[in-house]
Each structure stands twice: as structure tokens, then as C-alpha cells.
Amino acid sequence: MNQQLTRSLLPGLAAALILVATTQAQASEAIVKKARCVACHAVDAKRVGPAYKEVAAKYKGDTKAPAMLFDKVRHGGSGNWGQVPMIPHAADKISDDDLKAAVQWILALE
């Protein structure tokens, strides 16, 4: 492909990628709301549990974080953010795929 054609396609490709990322983020945010995670968490404010942005900042760059957070949500626990426990969330409340998407979305927040 010649450089001029490549340059003319880049803005459209960039816009398409932004649209896909935005759509995926909106879908993941909808998963979090549907699963009622927002009863205890908010994007940028502490509620019962930490703000999602705090979680993202704490685990930024940690390659083990997605699996660890998946397990924490699925099985519950306490001690990472104080003594208030994270209650377990069974697969009939949020599927594995939805939970993975939610964790990915949370970790991508800035």
C-alpha cells in the first residue's frame, strides 16, 4: 500500500478503533450496573468498597491483577481495602465472561 493511501486511511481507522473501544467500555459499564456492583462501588468515589479508579491505580501494571480480582469478586474476601468484606458473586449473578469484561474495564480506568 502506498504511503499516501495509508495516510488517508489512518484517520478513519483511528476513529473506528475509538468507537470499538468506547462501545466495549459502555458494554462493560452496563455489566457492572446490571450485576449491581454499583451498590457498593463507584467509578471515582469510595462507597462501601473502593472506587474503581482506586482499584485501577493500585493494580496498574500488575499482570496477576485480572485473575486475582476475578477470584476476589467471585469468591469474596476481606483485608485488601479494610475490614468490610467483599461478598461473593456467584456465576448465576454475573457470568465468567461478564466478570472478566468488568474487571478489564475497571483496570483500564484512569
pTM comes to: 0.76
User: Is 21's pLDDT higher than 60?
Assistant: no
Task: Report the pLDDT value the prediction gives residue 90, as an integer from 0 to 100.
Answer: 93
Distance of alpha carbon 34 from alpha carbon 94, whole angstroms: 9
Give percent above pLDDT 90 in the chain: 56
Percent of the chain with pLDDT over 70: 75
DSSP string, 4-45: HHHHHHHHHHHHHHHHHHHHHHHHHHHHHHHTTGGGT--SSS
For residue range 45-91, what is the model confidence (pLDDT) as tens digits? Answer: 999 999 999 999 999 999 999 999 999 999 998 888 888 899 999 99
**Residue 101 CB burial class (10 angstroms; 0-12, 13-18, ≥19):** buried
Going from the N-terminus, what domains does the chain have, and what CATH number goes with each? 3-108 (1.10.760.10)
